[in-house]
Chain A
Amino acid sequence: MGWFIKIFGSSLGKKLLMSLTGLFLISFLTVHLIGNLSVFSQDGGLAFNAYAKFMSTNPLISTVSYLLYASIILHVIVAIVLTSANKSARPVKYKQLNAKDNSSWESRSMALLGILVLAFILLHLKDFWWQYKFGGSYQFSEDANGNRDIYALVIQQFSTTFGLASYLIGLLALFFHLKHGFQSAFQTLGINHNKYTPAIKNIGLAYSIIVPLCFASMPVYVYFFK
């Protein structure tokens, strides 16, 4: 047990946690996106409502969702610990700093981007997950198949300018977070080789563009075409 505590007490062990939880969140995003795309099926929301029901009742998904909540919490806690330790490693700042010549903006702004993504996740949970699971102020009706009509709630949320704008800002932050984070997670795991690192970087860039773009397409579609 001592060795276990020692690993995660070290700087490298904490980075290992960031990387593993980050990669798990990436895999979750992929699954979440594929399911959400059913919002485009032209059936008045039947497919989307069925998908929402499946996600909240399937025992396997429920189990994985607890792992997901734990990952987000762990990712955020370790992010806070690391960021504050990193800040205190340089108590006196440079008066003139030219960091843009040696590193990318997003790589230096992971904490800021993370806070924006966290705000986005919390807003998202409040808008949909909380209403659906714990029954907030919103009164659900039932669709033709007898499923609760969360599709109607989605349409309502994304029809407001605030709903649209807050989503687009959150997804922009996610794009930058992943642009650096995806490839960074592999480097942290020690996976770096001329043979495949260029491929990891390209896949990471593609992922960071495609996934937020697909997520963004839904509120944009609802706002302008529904």
Chain B
Amino acid sequence: MEKVRNYTLKIWRQPNAQSKGEFKTYEVKNISTGSSFLEMLDILNEEISEAGEDPVHFDHDCREGICGMCSLFINGRPHGPEEEITVCQLHMRTFPNNTTITIEPWRAKAFPVIKDLIVDRSAFDRIIQSGGFVSVNTGSVPDGNAIPIPKQNADLAMDAAACIGCGACVAACKNASAMLFVSAKVSQLALLPQGQVERKKRALAMVDQMDKEGFGSCTNTGACEAECPKGIDLSNIARMNREYFTASLTS
């Protein structure tokens, strides 16, 4: 395998939310197969900056797959072609030498483009603010095992809590639906004793806020589950539906 590779990049450039935006084509050369996708973009941006032009803006923070900031739609798929990883965990060895790579922002009415590849995901924050929390005063750290939780529920809650709020589910869905994200947040609390007090209120409020933000509804295509970097699965959406329907009928 060659140690360095060359690529043609087709990147979405859009100066601000109001402008129309278009693809610009760039060439990058001698990219190490060991570099990450974001490092490749850093190299490109060095060159663009040195030429005195505006570098490509993209979101990133931790660069180790835990913060959920990186958000690129690469060659027609969120977070690129690999399974269960974020863009920052994607390596250039995945892309054959001398190929073209297309990079777009997440596209959804609820995620408007701020600049280039950066979108505004504060809709997710507002959904969390509407009910994705426990408002009882938790006091000091309780003794171990003071609150009994069945092992199975603890595992399911942990799986749901793995969601990093990246929005790849919305980006992947043909309806730009946020059901996988919202269902993970509803589930992680519905499964634990601490979440019981506000359980019904939470399900109703979060679904309500999700609809208000302009996300689409769910056709159960499963695209979200296939693209989620954290392996959040569709059973969470079924759980959210149960939570919502029971809360509607009994509260």
B216 touches A85 (CB 8 A): yes
Q: How far is the CA of A197 from the CA of B237 in the complex (A)?
A: 14
Q: How far is the CA of A104 from the CA of B221 in the complex (A)?
A: 7
B248 touches A6 (CB 8 A): yes
Q: For B77, list chain A residues within 8 Å (CB).
A: 98, 101-102
Interface, chain B (partner A; CB < 8 A) = 12, 23, 73, 75-77, 81, 102, 104, 107-110, 172, 174-177, 207-208, 210-211, 214-223, 226-227, 234-235, 237-242, 244-245, 248
6 closest A-B pairs (Cβ-Cβ)? A98-B76, A192-B238, A89-B216, A190-B242, A86-B175, A11-B217
A93 at the interface (CB under 8 A from B): yes
Binds B, one of A41-49, A181-189, A205-213: A181-189
A193 at the interface (CB under 8 A from B): yes
Q: For A3, list chain B residues within 8 Å (CB).
A: 248
Interface, chain A (partner B; CB < 8 A) = 3, 6-7, 10-16, 82, 85-86, 88-99, 101-104, 107-108, 110, 180, 183-184, 187-193, 197
Supposing A190-B245, A192-B235 touch, asked if A103 and B222 sit within 8 A by C-beta, the answer is: yes
Q: How far is the CA of A12 from the CA of B242 in the complex (A)?
A: 10
Q: How far is the CA of A7 from the CA of B211 in the complex (A)?
A: 12
A8: nearest chain-B partner, CB-CB: B248
Q: How far is the CA of A7 from the CA of B207 in the complex (A)?
A: 11
Supposing A96-B76, A102-B77, A107-B221 touch, asked if A12 and B214 sit within 8 A by C-beta, the answer is: no
User: 25 A-B Cβ contacts within 8 A?
Assistant: A10-B207, A11-B210, A11-B211, A11-B217, A89-B108, A89-B109, A89-B175, A89-B177, A90-B175, A90-B176, A90-B216, A92-B107, A94-B104, A95-B12, A95-B23, A96-B104, A98-B77, A101-B226, A102-B222, A108-B221, A180-B220, A183-B220, A187-B238, A190-B241, A193-B235
B23: nearest chain-A partner, CB-CB: A95
For residue A85, give the distance in angstroms from its CB to the closest CB of chain B: 6
Of B214, B220, B226, most A-chain CB atoms within 10 Å: B220
Q: For B248, list chain A residues within 8 Å (CB).
A: 3, 6-7, 13
Q: Quick one: which of B110, B207, B219 contacts A12, CB cutoff 8 A?
A: B207
For residue B214, give the distance in angstroms from its CB to the closest CB of chain A: 6
Q: For A108, list chain B residues within 8 Å (CB).
A: 174, 219, 221
Q: How far is the CA of A187 from the CA of B216 in the complex (A)?
A: 17
Q: Quick one: which of A92, A103, A188 contacts B221, CB cutoff 8 A?
A: A103
Of A14, A97, A193, most B-chain CB atoms within 10 Å: A97
Q: Quick one: which of B73, B214, B241, B245 contacts A89, CB cutoff 8 A?
A: B214
Q: For B220, list chain A residues within 8 Å (CB).
A: 107, 180, 183-184, 187-188
